[in-house]
Amino acid sequence: MSLAEILTRAPVIPVLVIDEVAHAIPLGRALVAGGLSVLEVTFRTPVAAACIEAMIAEVEGAVVGAGTVINGAMRQRAADLGCAFTVSPGLIAGERADGPVPLLPGIATPTELIAGLAAGFEVFKLFPANIVGGVGALKAFHSPFPQARFCPTGGVSAANAADYLALPNVVCVGGSWVAPAEAVRAGDWDRITRLAREAAALAQRPASPVEG
């Protein structure tokens, strides 16, 4: 499955920081039940790899990737775990689009975007989206970089996700609001499914006009 195919499966990619392996499978099932099948498990906890393996093995319908990938070794580790994709907060020196597993690289500036395009990437993570200009930055990128598509992440929430998704150069957004830490700790999987269902429905809302 190509990165473009993965990113267009749902309007929102949950960005997951999982502290306990026991949470991985019920969390993944709750999100998939709500209509969010593409799951980014960040390499931010000691159990991340085990959580990824558990989700791949046990969560039917899930497309599992690894986030917070910051070097080539981590990209290869994700490939070895069986990840369908990887996500980085920035451009990784020496990494190109044609690697062991699809990579969604992060960019924050036009200079980084030019470097990413030169490395063969076509889809980028705008990060941290709310800090580097958000919707306005993406509107500004559209004319000089019509070939680039984005998954803005960082400060994206239920309140502003639709504004991002209305842009022609946005394929999806990434966010953690669909899996609140307190709900995960409490095992409130029904709440997470409800939040996922609301997020999945964002794709059905009419796009607002894009200015600029």
31 neighbors 196 (Cβ within 8 angstroms): yes
Q: Which of 5, 20, 40, 60 is catalytic?
A: 40
The b/e string for 91-104 (b: 16+ C-beta within 10 A; e otherwise) is: bbeebeeebebbbb
Neighbours of 112 (CB within 10 A): 15
Cα dist from 122 to 146, 147, 176, 188, whole Å: 10, 7, 24, 37
Closest CA to 66 of 58, 57, 50: 50
Q: Which of 58, 125, 198, 211 is catalytic?
A: 125
- What amino acid occupies position 84? A
Q: Has 139 been annotated as catalytic?
A: no
Q: Has 53 been annotated as catalytic?
A: no
Give the active site residues.
Answer: 40, 125
